[in-house]
Amino acid sequence: MSNWEILWSARDQFWSGFFSTMEIFGLSISAAFAIGCGMLYLLEGSRPRLTVPLRVFIDGMRMLPFLILAYLLYYGLPAIDIRLDAWWSGVGALAVYHGCYFAEIFRGARLTFPPGQVEAAKAHGFTKGKMFFRLILPQIVMQTRPLLGNQLIYALKDTAFLVIITVRELTAAANSLSGTYFIPTEAFIVVIGFYWAVSVVMEIIVKQCGRFSAKRGFDNV
């Protein structure tokens, strides 16, 4: 049997690794997106005492490697009697970490958001929350989509770190296959192909969104 045939016969392991990675990725970036939006809302200034600690937290997270945060959740938290298994530690770390990056991206766009629109919304009697979720947030998400797309790719790549805290995902699958059959080159080429394909698909989606928003003239209001 050639090496590639061996890999083909072990395709189930790749698939389960791939689905595991996509599950972790999908769940954590959804949570991260929600966290990012939530943080942006809190930074709107309705709770002024929260603003400074939140900014410090966001900047702090952005100065940490992702893995050390995963370590903190997986190895560190049990010291204060919070026990998460490797999978939940990984998802939690990804969500918080990338949530902070999302928040920072949104914040940058919020700074240049035209104040006239906010005034128009106020004049129409919008409440703060309604104005934020119906007017400000959708535009900011649309406007920052290239940065968000990049961040999604970073998040996808960060899922591979979880192999170090023993989560069974795509890279772990390649690692164990190459250990079993001694065909590391082929195993990793396949796995890198998976990551690459997902990234390319995400890039295409972001570009399509760009075309959609250009068609509606969002970019030159």
Partner 1 sequence: MNASAWHMLMEGAWTTVWISGVSIVIGVTAGLMLALIRLARIPVVDQILVLYISLARATPLVTLALFIFLSAPTFGINLDRNVAGILALTLNTTAFNAEIWRSAFRNFSRDQREAAMAAGMTPWVTFRRIMLPQMMITSLPGLINEMSFLIKGSPAIAVIGIVDLTRVTNRISAVTYEPLPPILVACALYMAAIGCLVWLQRIAERRANRLAV
Structure tokens at 141: 């998400």
The answer to whether residues 31 and 95 touch, using CB atoms and an 8 Å cutoff, is yes
Write down the residue that tokens 């992702």 correspond to: 66
Two tokens at 59?
Answer: 């900047």
User: What distance separates the 2 farthest-apart alpha carbons in the chain?
Assistant: 73
Q: Which two tokens stand for residue 162?
A: 């979880």
The reply on whether position 146 binds partner 1 by CB under 8 A is no
Query: Given the rule CB under 8 A, which of 47-55, 77-85, 116-124, 136-144 is the region that contacts partner 1?
Result: 77-85
Instruction: Note the residue count of the chain.
Output: 221
Region from 36-44, 110-118, 130-138, 166-174 binding partner 1, contact rule CB under 8 A: 166-174
176 binds partner 1 (CB under 8 A): no
51 touches partner 1 by CB under 8 A: no
Give dist(CA 165, CA 30) in Å, integer.
22
Q: Which tokens go with 70?
A: 């995963």
Q: CB-wise, 133 or 182, nearer to partner 1?
A: 182
CB 123 within 8 A of CB 115: no
Does position 80 bind partner 1 by CB under 8 A? yes
- For partner 1, which residue of 120, 200, 204, 205 counts as binding (CB under 8 A)? 200
163 is a contact residue toward partner 1 (CB under 8 A): yes
Q: Work out how close the CB of 59 gets to partner 1 at its nearest, in angstroms, rounded to a whole number.
A: 8
Nearest to 76 by CA among 172, 209, 165: 165
| Distance of alpha carbon 158 from alpha carbon 196, whole angstroms | 14
Q: In this chain, which of 130, 196, 205, 216 binds partner 1, going by CB under 8 A?
A: 196
- The residue (of 41 and 66) whose beta carbon lies closer to partner 1 is 66
Part of the chain binding partner 1 (CB under 8 A), chosen from 9-17, 104-112, 134-142, 157-165: 157-165
Q: Which of 26, 38, 65, 129 binds partner 1 (CB under 8 A)?
A: 65
Residue found by looking up tokens 């400000």 in the block: 136
152 near partner 1, judged by CB under 8 A: no
Residues sharing a CB contact under 8 Å with residue 132, sequence separation 6 or more, in sequence order: 41, 44
Binding region for partner 1 (CB under 8 A): 60, 63-68, 71-72, 75-76, 78-80, 153, 156-161, 163-164, 170-171, 174-175, 178, 182-185, 188-189, 191-192, 195-196, 198-200
